[in-house]
Structure 1
Amino acid sequence: MRRIILSTESGADLSKDLVEKHQIQVVPMHVIVDGKDYLDGKLSVEEVFEYHSRTKRIPSTAATNVHEYHDLFTKIRIDFPNSIIIHIGYTSKASASFQSALIAAEDFEDIFLIDALNVTGGLAAIVMYAATLLEEEPSINHVHLIEKIESVVPKARLAFIPGSLDFLRAGGRVSNIAYIGGALLKIKPCIELKEGKLVSTRKYRGNMSIVAEKLMRDYLNQYDIDRKQLYLIYSIGLDENIKRRMDEIAKETGFKTITWMQAGAMISTHAGPGGFGIAGLE
């Protein structure tokens, strides 16, 4: 029986423990600071935030390129000879990474690519669904597995609140007028993935402890999330009291497993410090 290997990008924000446990192959995306290119994971989140604090600018981000995917797929074939590779990629609607993976895959056989149409915890939820299926059914046929993964892509739900409007403004994602109004009124936008695109779906008012709870309750009311697993995402700086409260709500509403994920440097350049998000599968 041929082994199935899963791969994805660093933008899934999977923890080192999960990656090692399930032998998921992760290729880094890029964070660029003052013209210097860092692989996501090689530049700390603290350095990203320090750079913004010092310069009032944020780093830029870049997709994984064709050469890097070619190296990834080659390495997998060396480490796992005769394997079947299933790559679950960062949404093609917000990055060129998936297109690069498609081009690289042309030089290999038995590589199958799935556009997750999601990022961070939403992408992680799909990858972990696949990893769990493989663990529970090690003899599963790759065609059947791909069908199952593709069936949950439209059921992956991600919603998050950036921790800082400063980062949205510095990245050109809000106008100065919107920034000033939002800062004065303590308005925080909720960002969701709609058909693979990042969309502001609602606005909340108040401090993060109030807003995070509102988001959590709205999310759970709007989506019928599978109670087996919930992913909670944070960027460095989120108050520990907020995290404890989110844990309480998740347990009160029947979730069996709650996994906290820290946003890496690439995602944090968009979310800023103290951001909070939720992801799961309907």
Structure 2
Amino acid sequence: MRKIILSTESGADLPEDLAVKYAIQVVPMHVIMDDQDYLDGSLPVMDIYDYYDRTKKIPSTTATNVHEYEQFFAKIKADFPDCIIIHIGYTSQASSSFQNAVIAAEEMDDLILIDALNVTGGLAAIVMNAARLLEKEPMIEPTRLVEQIEAMVPKSRLAFVPGSLEFLRAGGRVSNLAYLGGALLKIKPCIELIQGKLVSTKKYRGKIDGVAEKLMREYLAQYDIDREQLYLIYSIGLDKAVMQRMDQIAEENGFKHVKWIQAGAMISTHAGPGGFGIAGLEV
């Protein structure tokens, strides 16, 4: 049986230890700051926050381009001859990255692309579930694995509250953020992925400790998340006491494994410091 290799983008914020353990290949997206192009993962997140403090501007982000995908897939083929690549991509509704992968794949064989319609922890949840399925059944037929991954896509649930609304507003990636109106800087919106789009679904008031707890409790009440694994996302600046409280709530709700994911430079450019999110797969 030919080896199956999983790949994804840096916008999944997949922790390095998991990427290494499961041999998941990660292609970087881009952050543009001071007219310089940085590969996501090579730029310390604190540099983004320092840049904003200094200039009151946020960096811009760009997708992985077609040429980069061609090189990325070619290297996987060189490293793992005769493999089959299953690429689980960042939502096509918020970036051109997936479409660029589609173009790059036109001249390649044994390469399957899946639009995860999700980002950060929501994308990571799908990738990691696929990796564990492959670990349990390494001889699985690629078509059957693809079917199972595609079935996960509508079950992946991501919700987060940004740490800085100025970052979110400047980023302009949330489709209906305008409805928040003049109260924008006084509230914390809950952002969820709806059919692949980042949508503001609720709004909370108060400090992040109370907001994070309310978000988590409402999320767990709304979605029947598989108790095997929960992903909690933070951007640098989130108080450790908040993180400890979220761990307690996860334990109270019967989650067997909880994995914290730090938002990388690309995601942090839009979410800002001190944000919190939660992701998992519905049963």
The TM-score normalised by the length of structure 1 is: 0.96
What is residue 181 of structure 1 aligned with on the other side?
183
What is residue 191 of structure 2 aligned with on the other side?
191
Name the SS of the counterpart of 1:112 in structure 2.
strand
CA displacement, residues 40-85 of structure 1 (integer Å, 9 cap, x when unaligned): 0111100000000100000000000000100011000100000000
Structure 1, unaligned runs of 5 or more: none
CA displacement, residues 133-180 of structure 1 (integer Å, 9 cap, x when unaligned): 0101111110000000000100000000000112123335667x94x6
Matched residues in 2 for 1:132 and 1:228: separation?
Answer: 12
Matched residues in 2 for 1:171 and 1:18: separation?
Answer: 29
Count of aligned pairs: 278
What does residue range 14-33 of structure 1 map to in structure 2 within 5 Å? 14-33=14-33
CA displacement, residues 181-202 of structure 1 (integer Å, 9 cap, x when unaligned): 343xx41000000000000000
Question: Residue 197 of structure 2 aligns to which amino acid in structure 1?
Answer: K
What does residue range 1-282 of structure 1 map to in structure 2 within 5 Å? 1-172=1-172, 178=181, 181-183=183-185, 186-282=186-282
Matched residues in 2 for 1:128 and 1:122: separation?
Answer: 10
Deviation for aligned residue 1:212: 0.1
Percent of pairs with identical residues: 70
Matched residues in 1 for 2:184 and 2:221: separation?
Answer: 26
Contact 1:167 1:270 in 2 (8 A): yes
Question: Residue 79 of structure 1 aligns to which amino acid in structure 2?
Answer: D
Matched residues in 1 for 2:233 and 2:104: separation?
Answer: 31
Name the SS of the counterpart of 1:189 in structure 2.
strand
Matched residues in 2 for 1:74 and 1:170: separation?
Answer: 36
Matched residues in 2 for 1:16 and 1:150: separation?
Answer: 24
The TM-score normalised by the length of structure 2 is: 0.96
Alignment RMSD (CA, Å):
1.2
Contact 1:56 1:170 in 2 (8 A): no
Question: Residue 201 of structure 1 aligns to which amino acid in structure 2?
Answer: T
Deviation for aligned residue 1:34: 2.2
CA displacement, residues 235-262 of structure 1 (integer Å, 9 cap, x when unaligned): 0000000000000000000000000000
Structure 2, unaligned runs of 5 or more: none
CA displacement, residues 181-239 of structure 1 (integer Å, 9 cap, x when unaligned): 343xx410000000000000000010000000000000000000000000000000000
